[in-house]
Amino acid sequence: MENIQTSRRDFLKTTALTSFGLALGITAFSRDATVKKITPAILKLEINPFIIIDTAGNITIVNPRPDMGQGSTQAVPSLLAEELEVRLDQVKIIQSDGKGKYGNQTSGGSSSVRSLWEPIRKAGAAAREMLTETAAKRWNVPVSECIAKDGTIVHKPTGKSLTYGELADDASKLEIPKNPKLKDPKDFQILGKFNKRLDVPERVTGQAIYGIDIDIPGMVYASILHSPMVHGKVVSINDAETKKVKGVVKVLKTERTMPHRTSEAVAVIGTNYWAALKGRKALQVKWDNADYEKTLSTEKYFAETYEAAKKEGIRYEEKGDFSSKYNTAAKKLESHYETPFLAHAPIEPENAVVHVKEDGSIEIWAPVQGPDWALRDVCAYMKVEPEKVKINVTLLGGAFGRKAYHDFLLEACHLSKELKKPVKVVWTREDDISQGPYRPGMLSHMQGIVEEGKITGFHHHAIGESIMGQVFKGLKPDEADSWIGEELSVHNNKYNFSTASKISWTHVKTDIPIVWWRSVYASNFGWGQECFIDELAHLAATDPMKARMELIKDDRFQKVLETLSEKAAWGEKLAEGQGKGIAVFKSFDSISASCITVTKKDTGVKIDKVVTVIDCGYYVNPDNVKAQTEGNIVMGLTAAIKDGITFTNGVCDQSNFHQYNIMRLNEMPAIEIHIVDSGSTPGGVGEPGLPPIAPALGNAIFAATGKRMRKLPFDISNLG
Amino acid sequence: MAIYNLTVNNKKVKVDVEEDMPLLWVVRDFVGLKGTKFGCGMALCGACTVHLDGEPARSCQTPVSSVGKNTKITTIEGIGDAKLHAIQQAWIEEQVPQCGYCQSGQIMSAVALLKTNASPSDQDIDSAMSGNLCRCGTYDRIRKAIHRAANTIKVEEKGIGKM
């Protein structure tokens, strides 16, 4: 019980509650549910998220997953409300602050529901049992005669009732049941049902507070001129024009700290943001770019990946002796599939407010995906203990992986320390697009074998920069990137190649900053895998749907493909010039398959329709599963047919949405989403819909036009 | 610096700012209305959309000096009056927002569309809304919500006998 006591004191310190009842840590119920894809050095776990019921009956959950639009502010309280027997509107939410006692707090890897599904429900069920037992004791009646409903315990035979608030103090004296009884899913009232998200009204009235909306008394604004070549040193600063700008109060050299290196930068400080921005535009800075203009370009990077494809990679997984089977195969195919670097481009640019106070303590208000990682990075950078740092997580105006990378936050820390004032750093769109970090560009070198009309051999050679290597410095020269390996493994996607199969990897390094981007490597390698399966099916003169059904021996995959086949009317006669393509990919423990229909139009195609089927196991809100999948369709299509990020002579070629286009409303095809209710353990929802989109489109284009697209992105109106 | 007398959401406000300061930053940092968002600074994304005398305008590219003192500036905070605008209500019914950051701009564009076109077709919606980017990909719901709001307004008008 010691931890619970500690947690109460902490909570009292950080909130204005005056009365206090029951606080539950969920350590006892948590399983080892870390996110395998993006787990950094693990912070010490003291106690997990809290559920607090005060004597006034207020129910509060400390939400350990920031909301960037994926719906954690509904999903997490829903898990609690279901088992605690309260309505969603009875649960107040506060965001966790990054401290170790709250455990893993990063929204990433589509992990929120799948890692909290059991522990939060168990905590809710335990609290319900404790409250019920307390009421039964007070009335001196059997527990079996008492039920919990909407925040009260009711004695069924007499109808008398007590609120949770009236019971909370006594309930807190009980031992927490180790194995509370969870509801049978068939009795769920909230989980799996449509419920409106309660924070939508504030998002349609301008009342929602994002990081960029934070104002602190005494705050100054900073706009930062970054090195044009991503990494550079300041040789000289001419700020004569900048200092003429009214509202500019200071110009100073600063730095941008990334996991793999630190680059110098120049900050312009203003009494308002416009002044800082205008002053920054008037700066004249000479840079030492360490010859990046000669050595860094995406053309050079991709040339190296194609060179690497000629050589044997590091083997991650192999069944049979692929190379010898391939060398002697009568019917075989080899292809290369390329995906570009991509910016996340959340509409809310990167920003943070930081106040480094006189006593050395630091307070932060920022749209970060993980206050735990942010705390780790701030403590390491500022050389302070976690107790000295308070992080207030705001809503995030989109993130997609970008806001779990804290260069912008550390910039604000550095400036606040220098200026001894609260500082608000706001990146421009140009900073966001031209500075990175980006999804890495990747190459898939594919080899396949066809025997007797069947696909029997498959080799995926993944080539490029490694997030694990660059962001975590964790990759040895002879080590295959295991995040990629797991993703492409036959154990993940269940393709069963009867003769031989192989996953291999070659690390091609670049100094272009990279990080995860929605669905991480699945967004790169789904393209190669699923287009190449399609190529091989055509080589085998078999239907691409049938080919997949034959190769995948897994009931859930089969059900997803059958559902897609039915809903997308696969195999039915197409109109003149039409073509359909499919792709399936499992990522973050969910299976998603898409069928895209296109029609030939002049030198290109028009996208008519996207049908996506997803099996994400148990889910919280079917409407949110659909919303996230709609988002994945749009982001997946954007990644396929809009702009990639390129570097020429050391400089990013794109700067704003006129060069880095994203899909617009008038370009939307018809979309249709179907959920397969498999009743399996919850999988991810925020990302798995994305990987099949580009390959389904590529395969549809082949079906309609006979053109095989192998390099993303492409111009859909002119396929060449 | 110069003094500008502005009318924001039917309230008179006086600000002392540089003449080239975009209305976006005036509204956000001097008037204190944070619902209007910064997205690109080049009128490419529409997150900063406000109404000037009822017409949608990109406030990031509108210098404060170009706004007349009798011009009515309306922001997301000013479209609902006592109750939510039919567009806002439809946005809730269709559960449009994900992160919600672009939605102020989306809603301002949609409100302006319905003012001039009570029954927009899909093509009308395409042309009115294609200047507003949404990275979360809520476009399909935006379209549905605009149709829903248009229908709601028609029903309400019939209900109170305004034909």
Sort out which chain B residues have CB atoms less than 8 A from A71's CB and list them.
98
Rounded CA separation A585/A218 (Å): 51
Classified as helix, coil or strand, A94 is: strand
Average pLDDT over residues A460-465: 98
Contact of A244 with chain B, judged by CB distance below 8 Å, is answered with no
pLDDT at A568: 98
Q: How confident is the model at residue B107 (pLDDT cuts 50, 70, 90)?
A: very high
pLDDT at A42: 26
Rounded CA separation A564/A582 (Å): 9
Query: Å from B81 to nearest chain A CA?
Result: 11
Percent of chain A with pLDDT over 90: 85
Name which residue leads in pLDDT, A82 or A23. A82
pLDDT at A10: 37
Rounded CA separation A26/A273 (Å): 43
Sort out which chain B residues have CB atoms less than 8 A from A627's CB and list them.
95, 98, 138, 141
The answer to whether A81 and A52 have CB atoms below 8 angstroms apart is no
How remote is the C-alpha of A561 from its chain's centroid?
Answer: 25
The answer to whether A614 and A626 have CB atoms below 8 angstroms apart is no
Sort out which chain B residues have CB atoms less than 8 A from A395's CB and list them.
99-100
Contact of A347 with chain B, judged by CB distance below 8 Å, is answered with yes
The position carrying tokens 């019921």 is A53
Average pLDDT over residues B55-63: 98
Contact of A320 with chain B, judged by CB distance below 8 Å, is answered with no
pLDDT at A11: 35
Interface test with A, best of B51, B101, B121, B130 (most A CBs within 10 A): B101
Sort out which chain B residues have CB atoms less than 8 A from A667's CB and list them.
130
Pick from B84, B99, B141: CB nearest A396: B99
Pick from B41, B91, B100: CB nearest A428: B41
Q: pLDDT digit string (tens) for A353-382?
A: 999 999 999 999 999 999 999 999 999 999
Contact of B76 with chain A, judged by CB distance below 8 Å, is answered with yes
How is chain A split into domains, by residue range? 2-204, 211-291+350-426, 298-342+438-705
* Same-fold call for A211-291+350-426 versus A298-342+438-705: yes
- Topology of domain A298-342+438-705, CATH: Aldehyde Oxidoreductase; domain 4 (3.30.365)
> Which residues 6+ apart lie within 8 Å of A539 measured at CB?
A331, A333, A448, A450
- Spell out the domains of chain B, with CATH numbers in brackets: 2-78 (3.10.20.30), 86-159 (1.10.150.120)
Pick from A203, A277, A635: CB nearest B100: A203
Cross-chain Cβ contact B100/A395 below 8 Å? yes
Q: How confident is the model at residue A119 (pLDDT cuts 50, 70, 90)?
A: confident
Strand order in the sheet with A590-601: A578-587, A590-601, A604-615, A670-675
Contact of B148 with chain A, judged by CB distance below 8 Å, is answered with no
Average pLDDT over residues A35-61: 53
Pick from A273, A395, A634: CB nearest B137: A634
pLDDT at A173: 82
Tell me which chain B residue has its CA closest to the CA of residue A426: B38
Query: Å from A371 to nearest chain B CA?
Result: 18
- Topology of domain A2-204, CATH: Aldehyde Oxidoreductase; domain 4 (3.30.365)
Pick from A215, A277, A657: CB nearest B40: A657
Cross-chain Cβ contact B37/A208 below 8 Å? no
Report the CATH architecture of A211-291+350-426.
2-Layer Sandwich (3.30)
Query: Å from A487 to nearest chain B CA?
Result: 24
Average pLDDT over residues B105-128: 97
Interface test with A, best of B16, B81, B130, B136 (most A CBs within 10 A): B136
